[in-house]
Structure 1
Amino acid sequence: MPDKPRLKRSGHTPKVGIVHLGPGAFFRGFNAVYTDEATELAGGDWGIVAVSLRSPTARDQLKPQGNVFTSVTLAPEGWEPRIIHSIAQTLVAPEDPQAVVAAMADPNIKIVSLTITEKGYCTQPSTGELDLEHADIAHDLLHPDQPKSAVGFIVAALDARRTAGVKPFTVLSCDNLPSNGALARAIVLEFARQRNGELADWIARTTTFPATMVDRITPATTNDDIAKLADITGYDDQACVFHEGFRQWVIEDDFVEGRPAWDMIGAKMVASVAAHEMMKLRCLNGTHSTLAYLGYLAGYDTIAQTVADPDFEVLCNTLWRDEIIPTLKQPDGEDLSAYCAALMARYKNTAIRHRTWQIAMDGSQKLPQRLLGTIADDLNMGCDPKGLALAVAGWMRYVGGQDENGGPIDVRDPLALALKNASEGAKTNADKVSALLAFHDIFPSTLAVDHRFCDLVTKAYGGIAEGGAKAAVRALRIETEARAKQQAHK
């Protein structure tokens, strides 16, 4: 690590108004930056209590610095650092759950926001319903004063506020999930109903759960990044985050008791975010996952490296044009073709080292939202989604745990062991596909038995297994271009 003085807070610590669950890199490079800029411009007591539900890493990085950190924009012309002051306090939930509940129950807290990833909602991926058999949920229902899960903390704090006669807070999901506000509301009400019907009714009447669409690529910070930033700034920042210049935040404007002036620094406040979030989930996240699995198997470390391969660039553009955009309703103020062209420019930004392995994490939780819904819509419209089927086959090959050179893949997924065992236990390519399609927590039963889908994925998996992901992407390009020429001559 560089021999530089540690970054320290200068000036006062902001008064709190927000508790945020999940203070990872995305939160620091997105929510905290928006809030910092909004309060600098318009004022307000919107300091953030950042709560880690698992690891003490964020606290250990931030607390010695007075909870300030550097947000670095990775522009093609160079790095653009800014010190962010919006975090007032950091807590680690397992160390003192009651302190977290007390912080959330504080009447000064107006918003509890979330970036806890798909698995943090403790749902069954195929249905989106709260998994009452999830270990953390079962624990929290038995021990409501010592919660472990995000929903357990939210309900415990809302119960404390109801008992004290305090208004509820707004629950603001900022995760990449379709209808994330409705999902957060559903799991909170179901959990509350398991505890106390009157509590659930009170939450339903008084608490709001705005939906959001968030977008900013935030690659993982490396030790080399920290050292380079120290050389540029003259201080050591263990909590620094790096991100692209682009950002987009669309928010359903439905808050119990106010919010920061996020709209004054670029957030779009709308009556409904549904069309925007579907655009982002399918166009960005869907192709990101596609590039992650197939790109990793092809030997590419980053998204920029992957789309530098012309065949992968064509794959992306073909997915958007033929398989994704036709399933979407155009959001107000957006041009879908222009949006996708801007995405490709972002993917090609070599200053963003967004690793394929990082994006590939937790695929069992991500596939239903990012790929499978689009595939189902394509099939219903009579379209054969060969590109998206190739993406699913790439995921299947990836979770098998062995790369194309015979080396191990470090698969990070809640179902990693079960998926690997299912793949290894099947002899033929078709059997492997069938074994993985049988995971009904991932694949809806209607899709898992759809012969068109099964045939497409089986063929795509065979192509990857026999010639590798790179050759399979190339073969699909050749087939697509040949079909386009035939249609042009008709």
Structure 2
Amino acid sequence: MDRLSSSTILPESVVGPAYDRKALKPGIVHIGLGAFHRAHQAVFTQKALEQSFGPWGIVAVNLRSPEPVQALADQDGLYSVIVRNAEGDRAEVIGATVDWLCAADRGEDVLNYLASSGIRVVTLTVSEKAYGLDPVTGGLDLKHPSVVADMANPHAPVGAIGFLVEGLSRRREGGLLPFTVLCCDNLPSNGHVVRRLVLDMAERRDPELARWIGKEGKFPCSMVDRIVPAATDETRARAARMLGVEDRLAIETEPFLQWVIEDDFVSGRPQWEAAGAVFAQSVEPYENMKLRLLNGSHTLIAHLGILNNLEFVRDVMAVPEFVEKVKRHMEAAASTLAPVPGIDLPFYRNELLERFSNPTIAHRNEQIAMDTSQKLPQRILAATVEALAAGKDATEFAYVVAVWIASIHKRGDLNDPRKSEILAAAKHVDNTDPSAPFFAIEGLFLAELVKNRSWRDLVNRELAKFAL
């Protein structure tokens, strides 16, 4: 079977780029060529280009793995997004990417792009653990491997923050304005977080560089939302049937698509609002809503699934008892939220339940459960602190922590950057205080919760519901 390429004639049922790809110039560098970016930022950018064409082609950068970069090169920068729900499937081919690089092989080429006048926005989806964030201080983790490497060899970076700082340094030397840094990962106040990390590293390199970035740079916050399962052989087979050609980068996703962005850019941006993005003065209310209702519920669902040998989110949502637990969790999380402009929270919660139950989306619980130690603070623990401070019941949040601990005991393994510490804690559980070894892991839980004996007792009470 032929491979998807710029010469492919697509079936009438498949939507392709409705603009002249040959005229598209690079304006965005995206770091993190994963499935989420391909189903989200790239889709928004394509739709924006169709409504208001401009020099906003994407240069896609993967920090380490060359495979998706090579696949994109083999397909002339094209790939398909299959949107699925119970009513049927539809496919669209995305062509907003104009170049593709693996930083491990072509780091200098990446830096040349970052230092070029045409690049005005850098977007990131590299996952929470890749930023080198110290959860205790909120600044750089000076022991993080990429931070150590980039401080030792700043002109040949390997990590996301190192590339940003070196790229900004070269722009300053070249007399250019900074590019806007737009973080699209699930970090609270993600723009503020990345700004601090960039300034921390820049300050250690050159205080004048840090002052320039602090004065001239922009780091808007954003909130992204779309459920994008990892692609499988079945995904690629479905794409081949729909396109009539092979697509090694095909992905499946749901119809829902949301992006809320602070409108604070250095020197222009694509007209993403023409594609449905919302620009707001503050992203925080939307961000908290999504992190606590969607992502927090996802964490609960994933570990319930692991505990009960259920592979997918939809499988968990087929069990009425678990649906009720998810509803109760959402109710507790919603009680910690401020009003969200333009959002009806009860409607949003019901919409989430429908999305989680989508029978066509095979979202593996193991995928969601990855790196839970990095996700608990923003998804569960921040809401817990606020609930306790307001005198509210925090049982549902304690239940999520208990389910997570119980799932670790069940499988005896996990995919997490703090794996060794967590598994060591699991081996030393005291039946009188079973959560104690986990609370003893530095930085795993917020300090307010580590010191709160009543909260820890609540976690133990919920943990007693499971056989460890």
Number of the residue aligned with 1:324: 333
Q: 1:158, 1:228 → 2: CA distance?
A: 42
- Does residue 418 in structure 1 map to residue 415 in structure 2? no
- Does residue 453 in structure 1 map to residue 455 in structure 2? yes
Query: CA contact under 8 A between 1:17 and 1:108: conserved in structure 2?
Result: yes
Shift of the alpha carbon at 1:445?
Answer: 2.1
Q: 2:46, 2:273 → 1: CA distance?
A: 13
Number of the residue aligned with 1:26: 36
The structure 1 residue matched to 2:5, chosen from 8, 12, 31, is 8
Q: 1:395 to 1:427 in 2, by over 3 A?
A: closer
Where 2:61 maps in the other structure, the secondary structure is strand
- Give the structure with the higher percent helix: 1
Number of the residue aligned with 1:488: none
Number of the residue aligned with 1:361: 370
Number of the residue aligned with 1:218: 228
Shift of the alpha carbon at 1:394?
Answer: 1.4
Q: 1:396, 1:60 → 2: CA distance?
A: 39
Number of the residue aligned with 2:123: 113
Shift of the alpha carbon at 1:133?
Answer: 2.0
Shift of the alpha carbon at 1:428?
Answer: 2.8
- Does residue 465 in structure 1 map to residue 467 in structure 2? yes
Number of the residue aligned with 1:260: 270
AA partner of residue 419 (structure 1): I
Query: CA contact under 8 A between 1:290 and 1:388: conserved in structure 2?
Result: no
Q: 2:297, 2:113 → 1: CA distance?
A: 39
Higher deviation after alignment, 269-278 or 455-464: 455-464
Query: CA contact under 8 A between 2:28 and 2:56: conserved in structure 1?
Result: yes
Shift of the alpha carbon at 1:40?
Answer: 1.4
- Does residue 36 in structure 1 map to residue 46 in structure 2? yes
Shift of the alpha carbon at 1:449?
Answer: 2.3
Give 1:396-415 correspondences, 5 Å limit.
396-400=405-409, 402-403=410-411, 409=413, 411-415=414-418
AA partner of residue 338 (structure 1): F
Give 1:365-380 correspondences, 5 Å limit.
365-380=374-389
AA partner of residue 363 (structure 2): H
Q: 1:143, 1:133 → 2: CA distance?
A: 15
Shift of the alpha carbon at 1:266?
Answer: 0.6
Q: 1:278, 1:204 → 2: CA distance?
A: 26
Q: 1:430, 1:449 → 2: CA distance?
A: 18
AA partner of residue 361 (structure 1): M
Sequence identity percentage:
39
What CA deviation, in whole Å up to 9, does each residue of 1:92-132 have, x standing for no partner?
Answer: 11112212111111110000000011111111234432112
Number of the residue aligned with 1:469: none
Shift of the alpha carbon at 1:9?
Answer: 2.0
Number of the residue aligned with 1:347: 356
5+ long unaligned stretches in structure 1: 467-490
5+ long unaligned stretches in structure 2: 8-19
Query: CA contact under 8 A between 2:429 and 2:437: conserved in structure 1?
Result: no
Give 1:16-415 correspondences, 5 Å limit.
16-321=26-331, 323-400=332-409, 402-403=410-411, 409=413, 411-415=414-418
Query: CA contact under 8 A between 2:314 and 2:357: conserved in structure 1?
Result: yes
Q: 1:429, 1:309 → 2: CA distance?
A: 30
Q: 2:462, 2:406 → 1: CA distance?
A: 10
AA partner of residue 434 (structure 1): A
Q: 2:433, 2:74 → 1: CA distance?
A: 53
What CA deviation, in whole Å up to 9, does each residue of 1:158-179 have, x standing for no partner?
Answer: 0000001011100000111110
Q: 1:56, 1:430 → 2: CA distance?
A: 49
AA partner of residue 422 (structure 2): L
Q: 1:51, 1:430 → 2: CA distance?
A: 50
Shift of the alpha carbon at 1:57?
Answer: 2.0
Q: 1:126, 1:394 → 2: CA distance?
A: 24
AA partner of residue 378 (structure 1): A
Q: 1:330, 1:300 → 2: CA distance?
A: 35
Query: CA contact under 8 A between 2:21 and 2:95: conserved in structure 1?
Result: no
Q: 2:198, 2:136 → 1: CA distance?
A: 18
Where 1:308 maps in the other structure, the secondary structure is coil
Q: 1:44, 1:96 → 2: CA distance?
A: 27
AA partner of residue 172 (structure 2): R
Q: 2:343, 2:136 → 1: CA distance?
A: 29
Where 2:467 maps in the other structure, the secondary structure is helix
Where 2:259 maps in the other structure, the secondary structure is strand
Where 1:342 maps in the other structure, the secondary structure is helix
Shift of the alpha carbon at 1:15?
Answer: 1.0
AA partner of residue 462 (structure 1): A
Shift of the alpha carbon at 1:399?
Answer: 3.0
Where 1:67 maps in the other structure, the secondary structure is coil
Shift of the alpha carbon at 1:397?
Answer: 2.2
Query: CA contact under 8 A between 2:21 and 2:96: conserved in structure 1?
Result: no
Query: CA contact under 8 A between 1:250 and 1:267: conserved in structure 2?
Result: yes
Q: 2:447, 2:190 → 1: CA distance?
A: 23
